[in-house]
Structure 1
Amino acid sequence: MIMVTIADGRYSLPSSYLYSKTQHVFLDKVKKICGLDQIGYAFLKKPTEMQILVDKEVKVGEPFVAITTDRGISTLNSPCSGILKTKHDDALEKMENDTYEYGILEFEEITEIDTALITGADIEPWANHEVRSLLKNEYSFKVILTGDSAVGKTAIKVRFTDDYFKQDLKTTLGVDFGSKELKCEYLTEDILFSGVYRFTSKMNVWDAAGQSHYDKIRGMYYRDAKGALLVYDVNNPVSFDNLDKWIEELDENLGHVPTLLIGNKTDLERLVPLEKALEFAKNHGFLYAECSAKTGDKVENVFRKLAIEIYKKEENL
């Protein structure tokens, strides 16, 4: 079954199902079941009681179930007309683990389907919009750290997620992972709207190993990433010269995503001129920033800057 994954996999919706845009009711035409999708279940915030309102048949738009929550009672309308085969009175107990396998109603025959239901390519943009409302400006972004081995990628991640620096951090074995929430603000430059967008972003940081013998497996860790930090060492010109290789790999695996070119190790002597790095970033359409994982200087600002760029792209700002 092909799934549409939303919010970095927090929610999943089968792409072949039909969905009600207003109530998150799904219809599986193959298994002839209808129920509540994962996002709809999350909106209800741990429902406590459910009562099925129909008996032997149901019509399009007819309320078929009432679900009680701490905030009141929600009724769901049927996405189709048909003759019932089974009513799953215990569906509420199963929803927390799997909202799709059993559904709430199972049909003997489906005679009509609501023409307003969506499926296929329409699911992802609708679901992303709904999740933004659900999370109330809380986002979760998967981001990739990439660049030569020993430029300090793991040290940047550790400084950001755990706020410490260890001199002898071992080279990443395949991939390393960490996460941290950031409070972010974006001041729009739109002359028609002078305001500030405030949001919380959970940055899920994937540190892909830089050694050549990981080339064949590293691509799998790029999947679904929303942005990238392309890192070089300001004290190591070779790491700067090798950036084109990592840009090519980014393009092959992610296409065009918000990317920050990062000059790390600013606590050491600068052997890559700043002007050269700024020009390189401009020519490739990247933003540029510098930091020191050793001292912690500007590390969090780097991730906040990337979070804002991803947010702007996600919200079409």
Structure 2
Amino acid sequence: MKKKTCCVVLVGDQKCGKTSLCKAYLEGSWQKSTLGTTEYLPTIDATYKTNVEVGQKQIQMTIRDTSGQEAYDRLRPLSYTDCDVIAVCFDVGNPASLENVRVKWHPETIYCCPHSSTVLVGCKADARGTKRPGAATIVRKNECQQMAKTIGASDYVECSVLDESSLSHIFETIARVAKRQHKTKRTGWWRAVKRKIFSK
């Protein structure tokens, strides 16, 4: 039997936490002592493969991590090729990051891949429990859920690199959304065929 596959692209502002989310999930852990101590290195484009279990079935997931820098605005659309799900990420501790979901990331992704599903991902959710030095007002969860509705996201999920279970939940949610996306595509294809046959 052919193994089920899906492709997810992570997008969002620079330093919003999407690369940390990806690496912490793939490596299985994240050392708390390293947070805020390592030099920030911007992502240009990185692709990873992993297996995610959904309903006792393995899905081979391709994860593409993209740069949020404006300098890569023209290159980033290349990462959207054959994408099933867009994970639009933002920093829970930065309201401007959430607003950029509406003004930048949603317009870009809907233009580049209008038929892909979207999952809104709140990164650095541990900010809700502890006020980070110099951090802006924490975004309320109901505001995040409202933004998910505004952009037509299939789901809204939050995570922290300090909580491994929340990381797994993110990618399990993405895999389920991709599974529904594939089912919708198949159903839509068959309906189109039937319309063509019976309209003759």
**2:127, 2:138 within 8 Å by CA — same for their partners in 1?**
no
Does residue 298 in structure 1 map to residue 157 in structure 2?
no
**1:149, 1:171 within 8 Å by CA — same for their partners in 2?**
no
Q: 1:243-268, CA deviations, whole angstroms, 9 ceiling, x for partnerless residues? A: 12011111121113121101111111
Q: Return the offset for 1:224.
A: 0.8
CA distance, structure 2, for counterparts of residue 158 and residue 230 of structure 1? 16
Does residue 140 in structure 1 map to residue 5 in structure 2?
yes
CA distance, structure 2, for counterparts of residue 299 and residue 169 of structure 1? 23
Q: Which residue of 1 aligns with 2:88?
A: 230
**1:154, 1:169 within 8 Å by CA — same for their partners in 2?**
no
Q: Which residue of 2 aligns with 1:314?
A: 182
Matches within 5 A, 1:26-65: none
TM-score (norm 1): 0.51
Q: Which residue of 1 aligns with 2:25?
A: 160
CA distance, structure 1, for counterparts of residue 57 and residue 165 of structure 2? 23
In structure 2, do the counterparts of structure 1 residues 142 and 169 end up closer, same or farther at CA, with 3 Å as the change threshold? farther
Q: Which residue of 1 aligns with 2:140?
A: 273
Q: Which residue of 1 aligns with 2:193?
A: none
Q: Which residue of 2 aligns with 1:282?
A: 149
Matches within 5 A, 1:239-258: 239-244=97-102, 245-258=104-117
Between the two proteins, the alignment pairs up a number of residues equal to 170
CA RMSD for the aligned pairs?
1.7
Q: Return the offset for 1:178.
A: 1.7
Secondary structure of 1:149 counterpart: coil
CA distance, structure 2, for counterparts of residue 141 and residue 202 of structure 1? 6
Q: 1:208-229, CA deviations, whole angstroms, 9 ceiling, x for partnerless residues? A: 0001011111111111111111
Secondary structure of 1:302 counterpart: helix
Between Structure 1 and Structure 2, the one with more helix by share is 2
Q: Which runs of 4+ in 1 moved over 3 A?
A: 169-173
In structure 2, do the counterparts of structure 1 residues 222 and 171 end up closer, same or farther at CA, with 3 Å as the change threshold? farther
Q: Select between 266-275 and 304-313 the one with higher mean Cα deviation.
A: 266-275
Q: Return the offset for 1:285.
A: 2.0
Q: Return the offset for 1:206.
A: 0.5
**1:171, 1:209 within 8 Å by CA — same for their partners in 2?**
no
CA distance, structure 2, for counterparts of residue 149 and residue 212 of structure 1? 9
Q: Which residue of 2 aligns with 1:6?
A: none
Between Structure 1 and Structure 2, the one with more strand by share is 1
CA distance, structure 1, for counterparts of residue 111 and residue 11 of structure 2? 14
* Structure 2 alignment gaps of length 5 or more: 129-136, 188-200
Matches within 5 A, 1:203-218: 203-218=61-76
Q: Which residue of 2 aligns with 1:184?
A: 54
**2:43, 2:65 within 8 Å by CA — same for their partners in 1?**
no
* Structure 1 alignment gaps of length 5 or more: 1-133, 186-197
Q: Return the offset for 1:164.
A: 2.7
CA distance, structure 2, for counterparts of residue 172 and residue 163 of structure 1? 21
CA distance, structure 2, for counterparts of residue 160 and residue 151 of structure 1? 16
Secondary structure of 2:60 counterpart: strand
In structure 2, do the counterparts of structure 1 residues 252 and 176 end up closer, same or farther at CA, with 3 Å as the change threshold? same
Secondary structure of 2:164 counterpart: coil
Matched to 1:234, the amino acid is V
CA distance, structure 1, for counterparts of residue 117 and residue 50 of structure 2? 19
CA distance, structure 2, for counterparts of residue 222 and residue 276 of structure 1? 27
Q: Which residue of 2 aligns with 1:150?
A: 15
Q: Return the offset for 1:274.
A: 0.8
In structure 2, do the counterparts of structure 1 residues 169 and 156 end up closer, same or farther at CA, with 3 Å as the change threshold? farther
TM-score (norm 2): 0.79
Does residue 172 in structure 1 map to residue 172 in structure 2?
no
